[in-house]
């Protein structure tokens, strides 16, 4: 009997997944490949009574740190140190913990598959030191990785141009989402389900351009917008809630973490607006494509690559208003068909998991 390769997955919050691109990817990667490999998933600190030892046939190992915020670097670095001499392959999600790789590579050439994670250092939420650190660890990761994975062709091109290094394109799946019917209990919880509406889902971060989308809909009183976000977590989001509270066609829905409920909200919408600036193959975008929704995407290279130049693109509120005022139902229907076809061909978890498995 062939011994299973030992794989450590580092950099996600852990399992079971509740929210987030990396977490969803780890969930479906382990679901598809948990039987083929001896996988350990590192998990953030949770109360002992909430801890489970096995999930999808994989071992869960908990660390006394949080996966996000100030403790995230220590969380990633600790997992890398604990794994380096015990596993055949480390799948490292994001680069912040990669500062230690040059040191560890002196002692053992452990195989590292590193998910680039995106141009994180460009985000406005980081101060000068944060930007410097993230750029530094990006450089270290690219130069130290056995295989560098990026989830968007724009990042592949960036790594080649910036570092003269190759990387491998592995995107995200979206086929875990499916169209759901609304019912009386959900209509009571989400009253906007009784009207026609457009939908967008984003974290309340300035580079996700929620303000731009909201501003457009103040000029479109005939269209309704449901904008799902974690408003209260960020000052930016709290300010938006106050500024746009008085518009009867704008529904500022607090984050919905139940996938069934979120699928009901998205799949009953007329179209999807993806306003992110720095995401690669954004999970929320490929999920909306899989749900057969027409796509309005912010005009950046990553979104053009994901949608194969077949979405509608806007650069500011004026652009979005013009598109929404002039688009025909036939145009929306054709766009939805194109988005669904792209999703079925590229953004399925079986395909994504197989690509990762070949690297282990």
Same domain for 59 and 140, yes or no, is yes
Domain CATH code at residue 110: 3.40.50.2000
Does 1 reside within a domain? Answer: no
Does 179 reside within a domain? Answer: no
Same domain for 29 and 169, yes or no, is yes
Residues in the chain: 360
Share above pLDDT 70 across residues of the chain, in percent, rounded to a whole number: 99
Does 139 reside within a domain? Answer: yes
Q: 242-266 pLDDT, tens per residue? A: 999 999 999 999 999 899 999 999 9
pLDDT for residue 126 is more than 80: no
SS (H, E, C) 111-163: EEEEECCCCHHHCCCCCHHHHHHHHHHHHHHHHHCCEEEECCHHHHHHHHHHH
Residues 48, 187: Cα–Cα separation, whole Å: 37
- pLDDT-derived band at 1 (thresholds 50, 70, 90) equals low
Same domain for 51 and 141, yes or no, is yes
The tally of domains found in the chain comes to 2
- pLDDT-derived band at 117 (thresholds 50, 70, 90) equals confident
Sheet of strand 272-274: strand arrangement: 250-254, 225-229, 198-201, 272-274, 295-298, 312-314
Does 194 reside within a domain? Answer: yes
As a whole number, the mean pLDDT across the chain is: 94
Does 197 reside within a domain? Answer: yes
Same domain for 234 and 330, yes or no, is yes
Same domain for 354 and 342, yes or no, is no
Sheet of strand 6-10: strand arrangement: 54-55, 58-62, 38-43, 6-10, 89-93, 111-115, 147-150, 168-169
pLDDT at 276: 94
Q: 60-75 pLDDT, tens per residue? A: 999 999 988 779 899 9
Share above pLDDT 90 across residues of the chain, in percent, rounded to a whole number: 86
Same domain for 214 and 305, yes or no, is yes
Q: 340: which 2 tokens?
A: 């669904």
- pLDDT-derived band at 232 (thresholds 50, 70, 90) equals very high
Name which of 34, 24, 79, 91 is nearest 59 in CA terms: 34
pLDDT at 28: 94
The whole-number average pLDDT for the span 78-86 is: 97
Residue written as token pair 């679901």: 31
Same domain for 105 and 21, yes or no, is yes
pLDDT at 316: 97
Same domain for 19 and 128, yes or no, is yes
Q: Are 210 and 183 in contact (CB under 8 A)?
A: no
The residue segments making up the domain with residue 75 are 6-174+348-359
Same domain for 239 and 284, yes or no, is yes
pLDDT at 130: 83
Same domain for 42 and 128, yes or no, is yes
The whole-number average pLDDT for the span 279-306 is: 94
Q: 167: which 2 tokens?
A: 């990387």
Between the alpha carbon of residue 260 and those of residues 98, 183, 193, the distances in Å are: 36, 12, 14
Same domain for 148 and 195, yes or no, is no
CA 64-84-94 angle, to 5 degrees, is 65
The whole-number average pLDDT for the span 85-99 is: 95
Same domain for 116 and 247, yes or no, is no
The whole-number average pLDDT for the span 126-136 is: 86
pLDDT for residue 152 is more than 80: yes
Does 219 reside within a domain? Answer: yes
pLDDT for residue 160 is more than 90: yes
Q: 7-45 pLDDT, tens per residue? A: 999 999 999 877 678 899 999 999 999 999 999 999 999
Q: 184: which 2 tokens?
A: 């009386």
CA 338-179-194 angle, to 5 degrees, is 110
The whole-number average pLDDT for the span 299-327 is: 96
């Amino acid at each position: 009997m062939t011994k299973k390769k030992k794989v450590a997955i580092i950099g996600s919050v852990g399992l079971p997944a509740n929210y987030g691109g990396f977490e969803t990817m780890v969930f479906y990667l382990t679901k598809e490949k948990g039987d083929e490999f001896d996988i350990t998933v590192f998990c953030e600190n949770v109360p002992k009574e909430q801890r489970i030892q096995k999930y999808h046939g994989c071992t869960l190992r908990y660390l006394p740190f949080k996966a996000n915020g100030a403790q995230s670097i220590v969380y990633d670095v600790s997992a890398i140190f604990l794994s380096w001499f015990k596993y055949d392959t480390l799948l490292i999600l994001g680069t912040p913990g990669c500062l230690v790789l040059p040191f560890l590579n002196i002692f053992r050439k452990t195989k590292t598959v590193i998910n680039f994670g995106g141009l994180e250092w460009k985000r406005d939420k980081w101060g000068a030191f944060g930007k410097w650190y993230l750029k530094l660890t990006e450089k270290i990761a690219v130069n130290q990785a056995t295989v560098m994975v990026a989830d968007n062709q724009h990042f592949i091109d960036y790594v080649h141009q910036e570092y003269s290094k190759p990387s491998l394109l592995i995107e995200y799946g979206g086929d875990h989402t499916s169209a759901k019917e609304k019912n009386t209990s959900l209509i009571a919880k989400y009253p906007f389900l009784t009207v026609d509406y457009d939908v967008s889902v984003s974290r309340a971060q300035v580079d996700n351009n929620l303000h731009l989308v909201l501003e457009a809909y103040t000029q479109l009183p005939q269209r309704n917008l449901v904008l799902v976000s974690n408003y209260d977590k960020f000052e930016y989001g709290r300010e938006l809630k106050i500024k746009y509270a008085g518009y009867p066609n704008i529904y500022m829905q607090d984050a919905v973490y139940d996938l069934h409920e979120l699928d009901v909200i998205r799949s009953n919408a007329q179209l999807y607006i993806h306003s992110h600036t720095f995401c690669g193959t954004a999970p929320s975008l490929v999920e909306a494509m899989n749900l057969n929704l027409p796509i309005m995407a912010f005009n950046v290279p990553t979104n053009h690559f994901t949608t194969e130049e077949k979405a509608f693109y806007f650069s500011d509120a004026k652009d979005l208003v013009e598109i929404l005022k002039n688009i025909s139902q036939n145009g929306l229907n054709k766009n939805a068909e194109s988005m669904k076809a792209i999703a079925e061909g590229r953004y399925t978890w079986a395909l994504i998991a197989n690509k990762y498995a070949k690297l282990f």
